[in-house]
């Protein structure tokens, strides 16, 4: 099972830069196992925006928003990951929607979900975004 991560523009490029992207990878690798992590290309401060930012999700332009996001979708598909981890709520909404719209095979999951899953503390009602392969783990 492979996991990739979306670098949120707001957190990485626009605020704290590559050091926070490294912190993010430290946490993600600790949670999913280093051998199960795969980066998108490009990444960190050079990453593409998912298309959920700047108010796009509320702008009433779904066609254009999907076209914008197709770049992100293809980037995720290229990694072959089963899960895309999104540490920002907007990224989660947009990438989850992209996966449905373009019929992707990956799941889109909040970082907090996987941290709790790894700690063995994820409750039954907190698993909406897990696929069937992880839905029952640790229950």
Partner 1 sequence: MSTEPVIKLGQKKKSLFKDSVMALLPDGGNLNMCLTCGVCSSGCPATGLADMDPRKFLRMASMGMDEEILSSPWAWMCTMCQRCIYVCPMQIDIPQLIYNVRSVKPRDEKPKGIVSSCDLALKHDTCSAMGASEEDWVFVVEDVLEEVRDSQSGFESLEAPMDKSGATFFLNQNSREPVTEPDEMVPLWKILHSVGADWTYGSKGWAAENYCMFMGDNKDWESIVRTKAKAVDDLGAKVWLNTE
SS3 138: coil
Nearer to partner 1, 69 or 106 (CB): 69
What is the smallest separation between the CB atom of 121 and partner 1, expressed in angstroms?
A: 5
d(CA 43, CA 56): 21
Nearer to partner 1, 68 or 106 (CB): 68
Task: By CB under 8 A, name the binding residues for partner 1.
Answer: 8-10, 13-14, 45-49, 51-56, 58-61, 64-65, 67-69, 71-72, 88-90, 93, 110, 112-113, 115-116, 119, 121-123, 125-126, 128
What is the smallest separation between the CB atom of 58 and partner 1, expressed in angstroms?
A: 4
Beta-ladder partners of 110: 86
Nearest one of 105, 82, 108 to 94, comparing CA atoms: 108
Nearest one of 6, 14, 4 to 78, comparing CA atoms: 4
Environment class of 36 (CB within 10 Å of its CB; exposed 0-12, middle 13-18, buried 19+): middle
Nearer to partner 1, 32 or 49 (CB): 49
Nearer to partner 1, 35 or 109 (CB): 109
Q: Which residue has the tokens 């670098």?
A: 7
What is the smallest separation between the CB atom of 52 and partner 1, expressed in angstroms?
A: 8
């Amino acid at each position: 099972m492979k996991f990739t991560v979306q670098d949120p523009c707001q957190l990485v490029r626009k605020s704290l830069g590559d050091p926070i992207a490294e912190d993010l990878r430290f946490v993600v690798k600790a949670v999913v196992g280093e051998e199960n992590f795969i980066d998108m290309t490009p990444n960190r401060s050079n990453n593409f925006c998912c298309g959920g930012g700047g108010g796009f999700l509320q702008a009433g332009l779904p066609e254009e928003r999907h076209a914008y996001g197709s770049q992100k979708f293809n980037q995720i598909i290229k990694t072959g990951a089963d899960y895309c981890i999104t540490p920002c709520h907007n990224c989660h909404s947009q990438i989850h929607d992209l996966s449905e719209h373009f019929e992707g095979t990956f799941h889109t999951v909040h970082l907090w979900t996987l941290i709790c899953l790894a700690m063995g503390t994820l409750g039954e009602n907190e698993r909406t975004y897990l696929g069937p392969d992880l839905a029952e783990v640790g229950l």
